[in-house]
C-alpha cells in the first residue's frame, strides 16, 4: 500500500514536531498501524510541550532539544519508508505489519513505543549530550520526569485500546502479549544503552556495532508484539 507523502517540516522545536506529526496523522488512514502510534506519540509530545512552559523540567532547553532529537528519529523512519528507503530494524515490523487485520491497535501502539524507546531514545540522549557538552548525569533528572509522562501515556493506551475486561480473561492471547512488555524496563534498558554508548564514544567501531545489536534486538521484540491474533468471538 502506497501511503501519501506528508508535508515535511524541519522540526527544531517541540511545536514544529507537533505540527509535523499532526500533518502525518491527517494524511494516514485511521486504521493504519503507524497512524495509531503517531496519535499516541502526538499526545505525549503535546504534553511535553505544555510541561516545558510550566517549570516541570529542571533544564527546559536541554529537554526540548532531547525531545526534538528523539522525535526526529521516528520521523526519519517515516520518511525513509515514504521514499522507498529502509528504516532501522527496530521500526521495520511496524511498517511491514501496519495494515495486518490480525494485529490490534494496542499492539501497534506498543510496538511503536518499543521501537522508539528501545532504540531511538538512547541515541537521542547521546546526541543531546554531545551537542551540548553535557555529561549523562545532567540529563538524568529530566529523563526521569519524561519517564513519568510516558508511564501515564502507557496507562492510557492500555485503558483506551484494550478491549473491556468482559471481553478478555487472563488466558486471552492479547492479555498475555501486552502484559509481557514493560515500558519501565524498556526505559531502564534505554538508559543503560545510552551509558554504554557514552562509554564507547572513543571507540566508534564498537559503538556502532553495539547500536546495531540494540536495533536488531528491539526489532525482534517489536515483531513479537505484532504477532497477529485471532479475531475475538
* pLDDT of res. 168: 53
Confidence of residue 163 (pLDDT cuts 50, 70, 90): low
Q: Distance between CA atoms of 60 and 74, rounded to whole angstroms?
A: 21
Q: What is the mean pLDDT of residues 215-232?
A: 91
* pLDDT of res. 154: 77
Confidence of residue 224 (pLDDT cuts 50, 70, 90): very high
Containing structural domain, residue 172? 14-225
Please state the domain count of the chain.
1
3-state secondary structure the chain: CCCCCCCCCCCCCHHHHHHHHHHHHHHCCCCCHHHHHHHHHHHHHHHHHHHHHCCCCCCHHHHHHHHHHHHHHHHHHHHHHHCCCCCCCCCHHHHHCCCCCCCCHHHHHHHHHHHHHHHHHHHHHHHHHHHHCCCCHHHHHHHHHHHHHHHHHHHHHHHHHCCCCCCCCCCCHHHHHHHCCCHHHHHHHHHHHHHHHHHCCCCHHHHHHHHHHHHHHHHHHHHHHCCCCCCCC
- What's the chain's length in residues? 233
Q: What is the mean pLDDT of residues 167-193?
A: 83
Which tens digits make up the pLDDT trace of 187-206?
999 999 999 999 999 999 99
Report if residue 93 sits inside a domain. Answer: yes
pLDDT at residue 220 tops 70:
yes
Report if residue 5 sits inside a domain. Answer: no
* pLDDT of res. 151: 84
Report if residue 9 sits inside a domain. Answer: no
Confidence of residue 173 (pLDDT cuts 50, 70, 90): confident
**Residue pair 118/214 in contact by the 8 Å Cβ criterion:** yes
Confidence of residue 165 (pLDDT cuts 50, 70, 90): low
Report if residue 230 sits inside a domain. Answer: no
DSSP state of 8: P
Q: Distance between CA atoms of 32 and 44, rounded to whole angstroms?
A: 19
Report if residue 7 sits inside a domain. Answer: no
Which tens digits make up the pLDDT trace of 87-106?
999 999 999 999 999 999 99
pLDDT at residue 38 tops 60:
yes
Report if residue 120 sits inside a domain. Answer: yes
- Mean residue pLDDT of the chain comes to 89
Confidence of residue 178 (pLDDT cuts 50, 70, 90): confident
Report if residue 8 sits inside a domain. Answer: no
Report if residue 231 sits inside a domain. Answer: no
Q: Distance between CA atoms of 1 and 187, rounded to whole angstroms?
A: 33
Amino acid at each position: 500500500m502506497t501511503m501519501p507523502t506528508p508535508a515535511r517540516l524541519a522540526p527544531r522545536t517541540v511545536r514544529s514536531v507537533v505540527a509535523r506529526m499532526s500533518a502525518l496523522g491527517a494524511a494516514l488512514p485511521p486504521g493504519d498501524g503507524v497512524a495509531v502510534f503517531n496519535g499516541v506519540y502526538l499526545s505525549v509530545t503535546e504534553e511535553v510541550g505544555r510541561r516545558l512552559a510550566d517549570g516541570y523540567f529542571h533544564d527546559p532547553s536541554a529537554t526540548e532539544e532531547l525531545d526534538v532529537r528523539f522525535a526526529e528519529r521516528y520521523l526519519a523512519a517515516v520518511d525513509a519508508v515514504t521514499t522507498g528507503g529502509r528504516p532501522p530494524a527496530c521500526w521495520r515490523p511496524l511498517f511491514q505489519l501496519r495494515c495486518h487485520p490480525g494485529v490490534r491497535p494496542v499492539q501497534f501502539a506498543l510496538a511503536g513505543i518499543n521501537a522508539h524507546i528501545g532504540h531511538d531514545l538512547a541515541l537521542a540522549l547521546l546526541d543531546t549530550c554531545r551537542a551540548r557538552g553535557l555529561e549523562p548525569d545532567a540529563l538524568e533528572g529530566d529523563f526521569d520526569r519524561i519517564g513519568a509522562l510516558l508511564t501515564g501515556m502507557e496507562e492510557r493506551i492500555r485503558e483506551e485500546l484494550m478491549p473491556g475486561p468482559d471481553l478478555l480473561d487472563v488466558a486471552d492471547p492479547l492479555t498475555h502479549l501486552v502484559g509481557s512488555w514493560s515500558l519501565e524496563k524498556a526505559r531502564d534498558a534505554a538508559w543503560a544503552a545510552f551509558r554504554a554508548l557514552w562509554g564507547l564514544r572513543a571507540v566508534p567501531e564498537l559503538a556502532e556495532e553495539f547500536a546495531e545489536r540494540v536495533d536488531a534486538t528491539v526489532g525482534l521484540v517489536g515483531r513479537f508484539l505484532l504477532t497477529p491474533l485471532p479475531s475475538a468471538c
